[in-house]
Chains A and B, each alone.
Chain A
C-alpha cells in the first residue's frame, strides 16, 4: 500500500530547521556580547577616574568572581538566591496567570481588581519586606512573599490583557466547529494571552531576582543579599561588585535558558512574518 501523503517535512529536515534556529539564536549572542563589552569599557573608565576604592576595575572584579567560584560556600549562597528567585517567580506566574485569566474573562472581576492592583503598586516593596519579616522571619517565605507581591501586578495585567483583547472571531470559529468552552479556552484563549504575557513574565523574572537580593539584604536572610551586606560591612567594593555581577549572570542564565526559548518556539509565526533582512 502506498504511504499516506503527508504535508509534514521529513524528520531530518525538521531537525535541520530546529538546529538552524538554535544556531541563529546563539549567533545573535554576539550583539549582546558587544553591548556588554561597551559596559565594561565605561566601567573601566569610571575606575580609572575615581580609583579602586570607589570602583574596582572590571578585571579585579572578574578575579574576585574567580576566587568566589573556587569557594563551595559561595556556590551555596548563589544557589540559595537562585532557588528563592525561581520558586518565587514560579509562584507569582501561577497566581498571576490564574487571577489574570479569570479577570480577562469576567469584566466585573477586572473592574474590581484594577483598583486593588493600583493599591498593590502604590505600597512600596520595602513596606512588604518589613511585614514579611514580621510574619515569616528571615526565611525563604519572606523572600517569596515579597517577590509575589512585587511582581503580581505585572503578570496579572499581562494575562488579563491577553484574554480581554483576544480575537473573538477565533472563539466563534472554534464554537462553530463544535468546541466547548473548556476546549476553546485551552486551544484558542490561552494561546492568545502569550503576546502580552511573555513580556510581563520576562519583567517579572527580573523583578524576582532584584527583589530577592533586596529582601535578603534587609531581612538578613543569607543568600547574595546577605553576602552583599557582609561586603558593605568590610567595605570590600570588589566583592560587592562581584556579587552584583553574579546576580545579573544568574538572571541572564535563567532568562535565556527558560523564558526566551519558550517564547521563541511559541512566537515562531511572528518570526515568519518578518522580511528576511530584519530577523533577530
Chain B
C-alpha cells in the first residue's frame, strides 16, 4: 500500500523553476531516502509533500493518518522547557493534559531523555540533546509517517550515528514510514529501504535503488560496501557530490 504518492510535482521560486516532473511514492512501513547534491530542491520537495509549501503543479496523495517532521534546525521554542516543547505538539493534536504527561514520559524514555533534561530550556541543552528533544517531539504524536529534512547535518559524526541508530530502531519497531532528505549517501544507505536520486537541477527523480534487507539488520560492512560500489560503479550517483554554491534553495 502506498502512503505517500507525488506525481508531476513542479515548483518555482520567483519565476525560476526549482522542481519539475517529480514522481515519487513511499509504501507503508518503508523509509525512502531522497538524495541529491545541495541546492537541487530536496528540502523544497519535502516541504511540498508535508503541505508546508504549495506546489505550482502536480498532485499529492497522502494515505497516512498523521505525519511528523524533524528539521535540520531542531526548531524548539526557546521560552519553553523540553517537556513543554513536546507538550506543545501533543496539545496541537488534541491530547488531554493528563495523557500528555504520560506520553511525554514515554517518548522521553524512548529517546533516552532523563527527567532532569526535560525541565531544561533549549539554551541549556547541547546540540545533540536538542535534536533528541526534536525527535521525541516528532515521535510523541504517534505518527505513521515522518518527514526528515536533513535532520542530522549539523551534528558531529559520532552524534549523527547515535541519532541514526535511534531513528532506525524506533521506525522499524513501530513500522513507521518516512521520507528522509539527505545529501549524505552513507546516511541514506544506513537508514533507508530505498534510495531515490533527485536530478541536479531538480528535473525529476533520475533513478532509484533498493537496498537489501532491513535497515535494522544491516551491518556497517554491508553499508560501507554498498556505498563504495554505488560511488564507483553506479552512474546514478555520479553527480551526488556536485556543489554549486551559487544556487539558492
- Chain A: residues with CB nearer than 8 A to chain B? 4-9, 167, 169-170, 172-179, 183, 187-188, 191, 266-270, 272-273
Contacts and interface: CB of A to CB of B under 8 A. Distances in A.
State the majority secondary structure of interface residues on B: mixed
Interface stretch (B66-74, B158-166, B184-192, B220-228): B66-74
Contacts of B112: none
State the majority secondary structure of interface residues on A: helix
Contacts of B93: 177-178
Given A5-B102, A9-B119, A269-B121, 9 more contacts: A7-B101, A174-B88, A177-B93, A179-B92, A267-B79, A272-B120, A272-B121, A272-B124, A273-B124
Interface in B76-93: 77-81, 83, 88-89, 92-93
A24 B92 CA distance: 36
B123 A4 contact: no
Contact of A4 (B52, B79, B92, B105): B105
Interface residues of B, number: 36
Contact of B52 (A8, A167, A175, A273): A175
Contacts, number: 78
5 contacts: A4-B98, A4-B102, A177-B69, A177-B93, A269-B79
Contacts of B108: 7
B4 interface: no
Given A169-B71, A172-B52, A8 B77 contact: no
Contacts of B8: none
Contacts of B80: 269
Q: Which one of A7, A8, A170, A175 has the highest number of Cβ atoms from chain B below 10 Å of its Cβ?
A: A7
B92 A269 contact: no
